[in-house]
Amino acid sequence: MTKKIVIVGGVAGGASAAARARRLSEDADIIVFERDSFISFANCGLPYHIGGEIEDRDALLVQTPESMKARFNLDIRIQSEVIGVDAERQEVTVRELASGREYSERYDDLILSPGAVPIVPPIPGVDSESVFTLRNIPDMDRIIRKINIEAPRSAVVVGGGYIGIEMAEALIHRGIETTMVELANQIMPPMDPEMAVPLHQEMRRNGVRLQLSDALEKVEETAEGLELSMRSGRSLQTDMVILAIGVRPENTLATMAGLAIGEKGGIQVDRTMKTSQPNIWAVGDAVEVRDFVTGAPAQIPLAGPANRQGRIAADNIFDLHSEYKDTQGTGICKVFELSAASTGASEKMLVAQGIDYEKIYVHGADHAGYYPGATQVHLKLVFDPKNGRVLGAQAVGAKGVDKRIDVLATAIRGGMTVFDLEEFELCYAPPFGSAKDVINQAGFVASNLCRGEHAVCHAEDLPEFSDDVVLVDVRNPTEITVLGSIDGSVNIPVNSLRDNLDRLPKDKTLVVYCAVGLRGYVAYRMLKNLGYQVKNMTGGYTTYQMVKRIGQ
């Protein structure tokens, strides 16, 4: 018997489900309803077309209704909003937006992939025509029109997540003075605050004015443009605002159909992407997933998961056993010349959920230091100190950040441990890596911690300068001259430590540190083996400075 599949939403999750369904059955009736005029477009490319890197608007239209029809024989109905679901009768109600005509359509299986909606806070004036959100092609067109026609001199981006950062970069590329306002003390919320510090610096270096720990409270239209009032009491004059404070699951239909909805508004599904109602499936930004690492319910709006979930829903409609195995939230963002990426749990997430963890930092070269062009990768690794299981990783740098996080995402997916990282055999030739990659180094450091062979002290736990503790800076004097050091430290370069042991008391705790932790660790081992009480500051002065500058 011919199956009739109705899909709501024709972009990442919906189009993937439709394509897979057709590949599984040549004779199924597959109808895709899309309220917009576009299907299968590259949401992720929108900021880059605004910024001008992607010159051709058509490049964003991965497939058109015509090409999808030709290739997959789909019945694609654009400008058609599904406004009702009757789960009992297996029927949806559709409104043709052009004509206003409404009709109903029966289904054997219904797949919801309605995505998410940008959050618009209920603040006065936010409905101004100069306040924008960015979710789809019409949103993008509106922003571009504003820029091209009105030539705004300044803009304020509210929200420092992926889209906010990409938009800030796009606006700067367009020569617009850009301010970013962010409620938290950091941008890039999936990362921990100290890891965002180099990103703050990079934003500022490129001309973005960053206003952290502040919030937009009021928008007023004035003769000159907009007047924004902030929670801090400050006010800002600007020509336009981009609101990018996050998205919430589009659950209107789901609620109407009586589907179970999670705490954060996501449609609840099982591992086959089935909702609480028979024959209704849901995928993409609209669904609640389980966090791969913590097992907690989560909303993680990313394109990869949406695409895969669409495929899985189609599989299960045709009785192929297929399960979605939770989301790690691997994500990356270009921040001007830097990239910032993360996977798995962040430290703050683990703290919030009361999960035991340990962490280390490694600041290593993306490829052999002796080959030209090497840059530093700042890598933070979070793991379970009891069994070494990798829980999460974050990296920031100019190059090779995606590679490290992809490898660590794979390690997390495979349930691997920091002891495994020691053994990873990664590509090495001078232009590409190091004989011991940053990841191996992170593995060594974390494994040493787990094995109790390396006692560390974290920058934020640095004991107040006290009589019981001696801070030993083992860098060279020139490094200290250039970069500064921690107040109250004694400087004894690692290579001359053995000649200066008399300067170190055995009855106090020594906290050693270097630039990144490596020489500090060599010093730690030496002193430990000599019977001193000693700890090494993980990540060295580099991490120390990041921690000290949190929120700046």
Ligand X SMILES: CC(C)(COP(=O)(O)OP(=O)(O)OC[C@H]1O[C@@H](n2cnc3c(N)ncnc32)[C@H](O)[C@@H]1OP(=O)(O)O)[C@@H](O)C(=O)NCCC(=O)NCCS
Ligand Y SMILES: Cc1cc2nc3c(=O)[nH]c(=O)nc-3n(C[C@H](O)[C@H](O)[C@H](O)COP(=O)(O)OP(=O)(O)OC[C@H]3O[C@@H](n4cnc5c(N)ncnc54)[C@H](O)[C@@H]3O)c2cc1C
C-alpha 386, offset from chain centre:
27
Query: Should residue 445 be labelled a site residue for ligand X when binding is judged by CB under 6 A?
Result: yes
Interface region with ligand Y, contact rule CB under 6 A, candidates 282-290, 314-322, 385-393, 488-496: 282-290
Scan for tokens 């994500």, then name that residue: 331
Query: Should residue 44 be labelled a site residue for ligand X when binding is judged by CB under 6 A?
Result: yes
Question: Which is it for strands 376-383 and 358-365: parallel, antiparallel or unpaired?
Answer: antiparallel
Q: Which of 77, 311, 359, 404 binds ligand X (CB under 6 A)?
A: 311
- Of 44, 427, 450, 514, which is the active-site residue? 44
# residues near ligand Y by CB under 6 A: 36
Q: Which of 6, 35, 40, 449 binds ligand X (CB under 6 A)?
A: 40
CB 498: neighbour CB atoms within 10 A? 11
# residues near a second copy by CB under 8 A: 87
Nearer to ligand X, 342 or 441 (CB): 441
Residue of 229, 245, 97, 133 whose CA lies nearest to 183:
245
End-to-end CA distance of the chain: 63
Nearer to ligand X, 238 or 322 (CB): 322
Give me the least distance between CB of 156 and ligand X, in Å please: 26
Query: Should residue 54 be labelled a site residue for ligand Y when binding is judged by CB under 6 A?
Result: no
Q: Which of 6, 19, 338, 377 binds ligand X (CB under 6 A)?
A: 19
- Establish whether 427 is a catalytic residue: no
471 binds, among ligand Y, a second copy, ligand X, none (CB under 5 to 8 A by kind): none
Contact by Cβ (8 Å): 403, 467: no
Contact by Cβ (8 Å): 344, 412: yes
What is residue 266's DSSP assignment? P
Give me the least distance between CB of 191 and ligand Y, in Å please: 15
Contacts with 303 (C-beta within 8 Å, 6 or more apart), sequence order: 12, 43, 44
Residue environment code for 119-153, b if the CB has 16+ CB neighbours within 10 A, otherwise e:
eeeebebbeeebbbbbbbbebbeebbebbeeeebe
Nearer to ligand Y, 47 or 152 (CB): 47
Contact by Cβ (8 Å): 483, 523: no
Which alpha helices (DSSP H) does 206-302 contain, by range? 252-256
Query: Should residue 521 be labelled a site residue for ligand X when binding is judged by CB under 6 A?
Result: yes
109 burial type by CB count under 10 A (0-12 exposed, 13-18 middle, 19+ buried): buried
State how far the Cα of 20 lies from the Cα of 314, in Å rounded to an integer.
6
Query: Should residue 378 be labelled a site residue for a second copy when binding is judged by CB under 8 A?
Result: no
36 binds, among ligand X, ligand Y, a second copy, none (CB under 5 to 8 A by kind): ligand Y
Query: Should residue 24 be labelled a site residue for a second copy when binding is judged by CB under 8 A?
Result: yes
Per-residue contact track with a second copy, 48 to 77, x per CB under 8 A?
Answer: x----xxx---xx-x----x--xxxx----
∠ CA 374-380-385, rounded to 5°: 140
Query: Should residue 232 be labelled a site residue for a second copy when binding is judged by CB under 8 A?
Result: no
Q: Which of 79, 117, 201, 371 binds a second copy (CB under 8 A)?
A: 371
Query: Should residue 511 be labelled a site residue for ligand X when binding is judged by CB under 6 A?
Result: no
Q: Which of 65, 114, 193, 364 binds ligand Y (CB under 6 A)?
A: 114
Q: Which of 65, 118, 164, 305 binds a second copy (CB under 8 A)?
A: 305
301 binds, among ligand Y, ligand X, a second copy, none (CB under 5 to 8 A by kind): ligand Y
Q: Three-class SS of residue 22?
A: helix
Q: Which of 5, 6, 7, 13 binds ligand Y (CB under 6 A)?
A: 13
State how far the Cα of 76 lies from the Cα of 58, in Å rounded to an integer.
19
Token reading at 479:
């490094």
Nearer to ligand Y, 299 or 489 (CB): 299
Query: What's the Cα-to-Cα distance from 404 to each of 264, 325, 339, 348, 364, rounded to whole Å?
Result: 31, 22, 12, 21, 11
Query: Should residue 523 be labelled a site residue for ligand X when binding is judged by CB under 6 A?
Result: no
Query: Should residue 16 be labelled a site residue for ligand X when binding is judged by CB under 6 A?
Result: yes
Contact by Cβ (8 Å): 393, 333: no
User: What residues line the site for ligand X (CB under 6 A)?
Assistant: 11-12, 15-16, 19-20, 23, 40, 42-44, 62-63, 303, 307, 311, 362, 435-436, 441, 444-445, 448, 516-518, 521
Applying CB under 6 A, the residues found at the interface with ligand Y are 8-9, 11-14, 33-36, 43-44, 46-47, 81-82, 113-115, 134-136, 162-163, 250, 253, 284-286, 301-304, 306, 428-429
Q: Which residues are catalytic?
A: 44
